[in-house]
Structure 1
Amino acid sequence: MEDAMLKFSLPENILQPLFSVSNSSTLDETLELLIEASKTPGGRLDLGSKNILPVVLQLSQSLSYPSGHDILLLSLKLLRNLCAGEMTNQNLFIEQNGVKAVSTILLSFVGLDSDSDYGIIRMGLQLLGNVSLAGERHQRAVWHHFFPAGFLEIARVRTLETSDPLCMVIYTCFDQSHEFITEICGDQGLPILAEIVRTASTVGFEEDWLKLLLSRICLEESHFPMLFSKLCPVGTSGNYESIEFKVDVFASEQAFLMDIVAEILNEQINKMTVSSDVALCVLGILKKSAGVLDSVSTCKSGFSAGSNAINVLKYSLTILKEICARDAQKSSNEHGSVDVVDLLVSSGLLELLLCLLRDLEPPAIIRKAIKQGENQDGAASYSPKHYPYRGFRRDLVAVIGNCAYRRKHVQNEIRERNGILLLLQQCVTDEENQFLREWGIWCVRNLLEGNVENQRVVAELELQGSVDVPEIAGLGLRVEVDQKTGRAKLVNVS
């Protein structure tokens, strides 16, 4: 009955061609049959030769809501399939002003709030994505109809169904266009990107389009600082060197963005170059998050395990670890290039990391040694800070170790800051810091490689008041407790 009602309300010049091609007499069955046929390249080519796309496009514009909802979804699905890599249909879609028609449909559904409505938007975006893959002319048609207002409205729809295909459309349009890159990173485009991140941080993502989008914007185009600032909580500033320490200085969306950027770097470390602007921005964020941590360390409540500041602290260290993992020779061999690691070190990275490491309570094995030393010798006690998250110590050691790789001036600075003993202390297993021992050994190896002065410091460690711990003895080291401070250190058994 419903199909009959739709049939009589639609023009014959729309229904008859569809019924003729599908050899069916009901609209829903016709569309289902054509959708099945359009799943193969041969089927799409055949339907393109029969000029079906303009008819289906006209059908989608003739349907009323909500009675025609299901037929509209089938129509968009058929259009999506027809434009999947078939140039004839992709060109017909542009020539028939299909972008404008689909734009009108999609934006009329943005304000609605049901899963079925989101399905309409998703199908329409997938259609536009397929059309955009055809080339510059098609990309320009989509971009000019949707940027900025249309993209912004859809980006504010907080659903996974619409977020993934929206990222596909935007990325496909600007990927080869310097003009569109400039626009999406400008005053009108950044709000769109910020809304995309807010949506993804709420509902997640399943496809890789979000990572492709953020990789291009944040790293290749070096617009991470601007996007990160755009996600600031209300009432705060993007200047992470000057704002007042507050627990809520970071938003969850900012932590989410840093998490994604860290994943991107981890996946593409050998082919991804990080600019000095991005690296220094991350260092500023690290300083701010560490400062927030310090400012609340005396509070009774402290941080919760999932606080934004702690997450930002964690991801900033992860990003810096990946940045510093690049071989120093890669930078020095590039003519006129800036060594980002050297820039970070000269901007206070090493000093900050060593300070944070010194402030921590020692690993469990070292704490055991300290306790024994206090019982035996009455050594003074001190009040160390606790871990803000599991793995914090390991991350600090990892960044320091990567910084020291084949950089003698970094090795020297660590020695001059009395960091060698501190880092030797990290060559132990620790339940709260998985792989600490491995990162500690890597770090010490980098400290000593090719550096006679650092090797001499280790060789000349004096044996006094040692405490035997089997786990450390197995490494050829032993623990000693400083009688004045109560702090432990590691020395060579030989």
Structure 2
Amino acid sequence: MDVRESLATMLNENFCPNHLEVLKSFTAALRDQEYRDAVDREVFCSLLKVISKLCEELQAADVEERGSQYLPVCLQITAECFRAQRNACVQSPRNQGLLGELGFTEVSLKILDLLQTLNLGSRDSVFESLRCGIQFLGNLAVGNCACKDDIWQLSFPDHFLKLLSVDDVKAVGYASMVLHTCLDEAKVEQLVQPNNICLALRVMELCRTQPDLDWTVLIATQHLLKSSALVETMYSGMSYLERVTLLELLSAELGQEDSEECGIPPSMARFLACCFQQGCGAVLRLASASAASDEEALTVISLLDVLCEMTSDRQQFMFLQDHPDLLKTTVELLEQVHALGKASKNVFSVAQNFSPSQDGGFSSSSPSISFKAHLIRLIGNLCHSNTNNQNKVREMDGIPLILDNCSIDSNNPFISQWAIFAIRNLLESNKENQELVAVLECRGTTDYSALRELGFQVVKRDGSLLLKPMKKDT
């Protein structure tokens, strides 16, 4: 009896273990490329009738009353049908087209939906069928634009959302792979619609709760974060911790060595700068020990990290140097946290304790670690080759403030280096700023010992003040 006839007999009988063996043989045969390419259309038509019957059986109200083994056998046969479909699509555009044209996608999605409603003591057999069905969708979509569009039209957004919410990490991982395969720029824009944004938010939630799921991270970095409209819509509907996850992914993407011209749109940089300016005051609450885990403050810290990366000599974002009041906000915030650190012992105070076990030291897990250093880094970035911003910092008394942060601080690793970087950018080709530093030195109002300890000295040359490395014998 050939495969088509074997499949046909299954339509007139209750499903049984013998049927499972027939399907297993068919699945195994489909692993061979030559066999796959030779399978007759009528065989696939018969397989479609089998899975359509399975769909009816799983939907039947009395399926659990036909014997304790009937439903488990149905589930095993369902999983094996999905395996056969999955194998049939491997490196076979012909079979992908055939299965898509015959309607396998719609029936398979209906079965996947039914599987999630079954009430069983053990979920293993359900999860096995779910995984195989989702893998079939993935193999159907790979490299086939027509199948991708078909899956998207039938699955978006509800089926995708349900599959990404299954209580099985592997199934969610496979569903993420299918979603990633189907997405393109036009489809991403559909996610912005009010009825669809929940799917994008679910992806971001998985990035936070299941960080080892690579496909959700890829969806976020390769698709979601490339749309400014989508990010702005998601951001408004997120909790503070979810915003932190989004911002951490953005920062990591910007930090990639090969991302000189990343796909993050300039409009997103403007949006994030505004968010930082509007919410930055929340970070001041960290000076109170009871607010050490303030979620809004954590968002501000993450926003600052992203802005630092964006303005690190990336031409597409350097317009932020002229973003209204961004520099002013940053200098004022540095002044406030610096004053808080001096007023009492808190997370913003300068510390010389490099072991968390030492009395008075702050744990390296504190969210405020490096915050002052990053404020200074952002100021330095915004002043790079920008005379107008150099002058603004001087007018706001920001230069003495930065010089006062040149000392080693275990709560702000590398703050000295960022302070030196900022001072260099502030003095470069700016006579007024150079003269101010010279006056500060003459009056003794600024302590240059920290700079000297770091191997730098302030020198005059041709009427200008320069920051230079000290000679070894100095």
- TM-score normalised by the shorter chain: which range applies? 0.7 to 0.9
The answer for the alignment partner of 2:431 in structure 1 is 452
- Superposition pairs of residues 6-85 of structure 1, within 5 angstroms: 13-14=6-7, 43-51=32-40, 53-54=44-45, 56-63=47-54, 65-85=71-91
Pick closer, same or farther for the CA change 1:15–1:364 going to 2, 3 Å: same
Query: Counterparts in 2 of 1:244-283, with a 5 A limit?
Result: 250=240, 252-267=241-256, 269-283=259-273
Q: CA separation in 1, counterparts of 2:157 and 2:402?
A: 51
Counting only pairs closer than 5 Å after superposition, residues 4-403 of structure 1 correspond to structure 2 as: 13-14=6-7, 43-51=32-40, 53-54=44-45, 56-63=47-54, 65-111=71-117, 114=123, 116-157=125-166, 159-175=168-184, 178=186, 180-232=187-239, 250=240, 252-267=241-256, 269-294=259-284, 296=285, 301-304=290-293, 307-327=294-314, 330-331=315-316, 340-344=319-323, 346=324, 348-358=325-335, 359-360=337-338, 361=341, 388-403=367-382
Equivalent residue, structure 2, for 1:376: none
1:312 and 1:451 map into 2 onto residues whose CA distance is: 35
Q: Please list the CA deviations of residues 277-296 of structure 1 after superposition, one character each: whole Å capped at 9, or x if unmatched.
A: 322322233234422333x4
What RMSD in Å do the two structures reach over aligned CA positions? 3.7
Report the count of equivalent residues. Answer: 413
TM-score, normalised to structure 2, is 0.74
Partner amino acid, structure 1, of 2:388: H
Residue 95 and residue 351 in structure 1: after superposition, are their counterparts in 2 closer, same or farther (change >3 A)? same
Alpha-carbon offset, residue 14 of structure 1 = 1.1
How far did 1:82 drift? Answer: 2.7
C-alpha distance after superposition, 1:419-461 (max 9, x if no partner): 1222233344332223323333322222223323323322332
Aligned-residue offset at 1:70: 3.2
Q: Is the 8 A contact 2:131 2:171 kept in 1?
A: yes
2:403 to 414, 424, 427: 424
How far apart, in 1, do the equivalents of 2:261 and 2:190 lie?
26
The residue aligned with 2:442 is 462
Give the equivalent residue in structure 2 for 1:414: 393
Structure 1 runs of 4+ with >6 Å offset? 362-368, 465-468, 490-494
Q: Which moved more, 1:435-444 or 1:350-359?
A: 435-444
| 1:36–1:411 Cα change, 3 Å | farther
What secondary structure, in the 3-state scheme, does the structure 2 residue paired with 1:171 have?
Answer: helix
C-alpha distance in structure 1 between counterparts of 2:139 and 2:436, whole Å = 63
Report sequence identity in percent: 21
Q: SS of 1:185's equivalent? A: coil
**Counterpart of 1:430 in structure 2: which amino acid?**
D
Counterpart in the other structure of 2:68: none
Question: For 1:140 and 1:36, how far apart are their aligned partners in 2?
Answer: 29
| Deviation per residue, 1:342-365 (Å, 9 max, x gap) | 343x2x221222222222327999
Structure 1: state its 5+ residue gaps: 1-9, 18-24, 233-249, 332-337, 369-386, 479-489
**CA drift at 1:37:** 5.8
Tell me, in whole angstroms, the C-alpha distance in 2 between the residues paired with 1:314 and 1:158.
33
Question: For 1:233-287, what per-residue CA distance to the aligned partner results, in whole angstroms no more than 9, with x for missing partners?
Answer: xxxxxxxxxxxxxxxxx3x222222222222222264122543432232223323
Structure 2 vs 1, CA of residues 417 and 53 (structure 1 numbering), >3 Å: closer, same or farther?
farther
> Partner amino acid for 1:74?
E
Structure 2 segments unaligned to the other structure (5+ residues): 11-16, 59-70, 353-365, 459-466
